[in-house]
Structure 1
């Protein structure tokens, strides 16, 4: 390789360097988002991209809250299910009374006493697969992951405006529906 480079070679090196991802925050309004076709070419287009990222951040929090509410509804429905005791099997009442986690107690209400058995929930109880629940859960999880990856890719552009838009959308989404989202779900 010769030390003499003509201007054409220098231009090619400069072009390839510009297409690399920035490793420091920058504030260019022409930063591509997701593809070369989505490159704002005016302040209005950049503002539109920022608004899109705000809405995407809000949608992310809405999806998380929606999933938490759905999980709560599904659990409530499961707890209200009635079970049929098969002949020859131990009835649920007998299982509860002999359960090592069950404790006999007296319940008093308005002067009336009743003997009851209080059973602690088993921690290793797995909920059964249900056609009415699990496909919907899988779709919700896929949407949540997809939106979170899109937000991550926007932040990885290292564009300050995009970064602040993602944070702003997350803030606004949490402000709107954060009370419905529980990190345990």
Structure 2
């Protein structure tokens, strides 16, 4: 009887300690969990919004203005690099991968046998007309990585939902397109 009483006592003690530790975990996890109301995606205005890391947190109007100017310049450089890509790779026939205009006088539906054959012929002529050159493809790939990286940095700045950062990115895109938009490709808007 004493053994069963001791077991029952241990079971109750462990159950009560589990309950208290579980309730403690619930309290900790509930304080860490955010409700959907806490995560409302609205624009706000603050001069102390961190950008890219907590180390880059403006401490006042001057440093906030400097951060906004940085974002304007970054967006400007992004648009200039896109235009530079078009100048370097699209304007030089030896480096270009631009598809030649294909007449659409054919009455055949897309996906028909002759359309697929002509697409294969166009692919073969493009492939043989642009041999693989390591130096050219490396330069093209590095430029794309830089353009993509800057684009993602701009996206992260906009995702802070800070009005000043958002308007700075838009202002930089405007300035970059104003300065170098005539050189960029017509179908590349990223």
TM-score under structure 2 length normalisation: 0.62
Partner of 2:122: 123
Q: Deviations over 1:36-91 (max 9, x none)?
A: 0000011000000000000000000011011111113442467xxxxxxxxxxxxx
Question: What does 1:21-60 correspond to in 2, within 5 Å?
Answer: 23-60=41-78
User: Do the aligned partners of 2:95 and 2:136 also contact (CA within 8 Å) in 1?
Assistant: no
**CA spacing shift, 1:77–1:166, aligned 2, 3 Å:** closer
**CA spacing shift, 1:131–1:24, aligned 2, 3 Å:** same
Runs of 4 or more off by more than 4 Å in structure 1? none
The structure where strand makes up a greater share of residues is: 1
* 1:147 pairs with 2:150: yes
Q: How many residues align?
A: 132
The structure where helix makes up a greater share of residues is: 2
Partner of 1:114: none
CA–CA distance in structure 1, aligned partners of residues 138 and 57 of structure 2: 36
Q: Which runs of 5+ in 2 are unaligned?
A: 1-18, 21-26, 97-120
Partner of 1:83: none
CA–CA distance in structure 2, aligned partners of residues 39 and 32 of structure 1: 4
CA–CA distance in structure 2, aligned partners of residues 130 and 51 of structure 1: 39
Question: What does 1:104-115 correspond to in 2, within 5 Å?
Answer: none
* 1:137 pairs with 2:163: no
Q: Which runs of 5+ in 1 are unaligned?
A: 3-8, 79-121
**CA spacing shift, 1:165–1:77, aligned 2, 3 Å:** closer
